[in-house]
């Protein structure tokens, strides 16, 4: 679990569940969390709650590798179609 920013107006809101929490590391944006829930929207001193992607990184890599072995051509084309980089990045 990751708790979001405690300042007013700097958090997730209704409809954001499942969306990314990202941080910039050396000019690269990395997804570190997934919006889970909050009390209200961007309320001061009541941070939103996010799923910690790093906690699940081994599972994510295993699932991606399994999908790649089942259908390697589709695995290579999908990120190109979506305009996403190949690979999974997770904060340590």
Angle CA 76–16–58, to nearest 5:
45
pLDDT value at residue 13: 86
- Residue 90 counted as domain residue: no
- Residue 87 counted as domain residue: no
Single out the residue of 86, 91, 71 nearest to residue 31, CA to CA: 91
- Residue 13 counted as domain residue: yes
- Residue 20 counted as domain residue: yes
Lateral strand order in the sheet of 20-25: 2-3, 49-52, 28-37, 20-25
Region at 21 (left for phi over 0; alpha for psi -120 to 50; beta for the rest): beta
CATH number at residue 68: 2.40.10.10
pLDDT confidence tier of residue 88, bands split at 50, 70 and 90: very low
**pTM, two decimal places:** 0.68
Q: Give the tokens for residue 34.
A: 């997934």
- Residue 91 counted as domain residue: no
Residue 35, classed as helix, strand or coil, is strand
pLDDT value at residue 84: 47
Note the pLDDT tens digit of each residue in 4-51.
876 677 788 888 999 999 888 888 888 899 999 988 888 888 888 999
- Residue 56 counted as domain residue: yes
């Amino acid at each position: 679990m990751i708790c979001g920013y405690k300042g007013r107006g700097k958090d997730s809101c209704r409809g954001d569940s499942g969306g990314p929490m990202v941080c910039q590391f050396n000019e690269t944006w990395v997804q570190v969390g997934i919006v889970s829930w909050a009390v209200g929207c961007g309320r001061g001193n009541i941070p939103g709650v996010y799923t910690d992607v790093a906690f699940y990184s081994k599972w994510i890599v295993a699932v991606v590798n399994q999908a790649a072995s089942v259908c390697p051509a589709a695995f290579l084309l999908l990120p190109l179609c979506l305009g996403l980089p190949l690979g999974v990045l997770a904060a340590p």
